Amino acid sequence: MQIVHRRNRLSASILALLMMLPGCGEESAPLLTDPSADHTATGANSYVETVVPAEDQSLTGEEYSRRGLPAWDRAWSGEDMQRAWRVLKQIADENPLRLPRFQSPKSGEIFARMIAAENSNPLKDPSLSVQKKMEIVVPLLTANAEILKLYGLAQARGITFDSEFVELIGTNFDLFEITLTVIEEFIPTLDPNDPTYSVRMGGLRKMRSGLVTSISGCLQIVTESDEYRLTERQKLVVYLRRSLPGILPHLDDAQRKTIADRLEKMRTDSTLEQLQPGLSQLAEEVSAIVERSDSKTDADAGP
């Protein structure tokens, strides 16, 4: 049940985010990867790995296609992602081991399409209105969340999908970073006299709080050597280093400091030696963001 609780932590910020999006109601939701860093562990030769990934029983692309999966030789829209989730849910209900796997000879192309950065490119298009971007992001977020949930539930049942889960988490945080920028553009377009305005602003506050919870959940995963292989925990550190600089400015000072303090403790934790120097670099980068924020606050306060 420990994994289920972690999945709930990761979902908290997404649920809060959707509360403030128009037309989303109470739906659940999301996660992109582009790892180019070397994930080789410090002292890896002396490290004994105990986590064994689940056997690859995934289907071929043709088999997924016959089940109704969208074509994977192009970017997937939010609607494509929704369709993919519905197909994959049916498959997972039958046998979760048949879900697509990261870098699998049989289904690697399918998984790569699910986490492709290309899927969120429309959100970066300066020619699109912010209203259009909001329409795009809602189905994308919700579908990504539901797909993540499929793998999280399988993991909770003892099926080790650590690579897939970490890749999807990385995708989620990349998507959050993009979405937060869209939201910052969207908020000024809202009418403060609209009856839903206070609800949406409340949703924004919950989202910020939820993001702290989500980040804390990811940092907890980094420590869980009994459930995630060292290489996957190292990749998660890389993904946090990629996304946090774009996410932390959207949090308040106290929330940023909470994350910085947690990382300071982790960088001196002897049980996490195999995750250095990446963890120390992440701690330094977050600390620098906090310091810049403190300096700006002092400057704004004036003499």
First-residue to last-residue Cα distance in the chain: 53
Q: How far is CA 230 from the centre of its chain?
A: 19
pLDDT in tens, 28-38: 333 223 333 44
Q: What is the pTM of this model?
A: 0.81
Q: Write out the DSSP string of 3-70.
A: HHHHHHHHHHHHHHHHHTSTT-TT----------S--PPTTGGG------PPP--PPPHHHHHHTTPP
Please list the ranges in the chain whose pLDDT falls under 70: 1-46, 294-303
Residues 296 and 72: their CA atoms lie apart, in Å, by: 46
Per-residue model confidence (pLDDT) at position 35: 37
What are the structure tokens assigned to 104, written together?
A: 């699998």
Which of 218, 217, 220, 231 shows the shortest CA–CA distance to 52? 231
pLDDT in tens, 176-209: 888 888 888 988 998 999 998 898 888 888 878 8
Which of 140, 34, 32 shows the shortest CA–CA distance to 82? 140
Query: What is the number of residues in the chain?
Result: 303
Residues 7 and 11: their CA atoms lie apart, in Å, by: 6
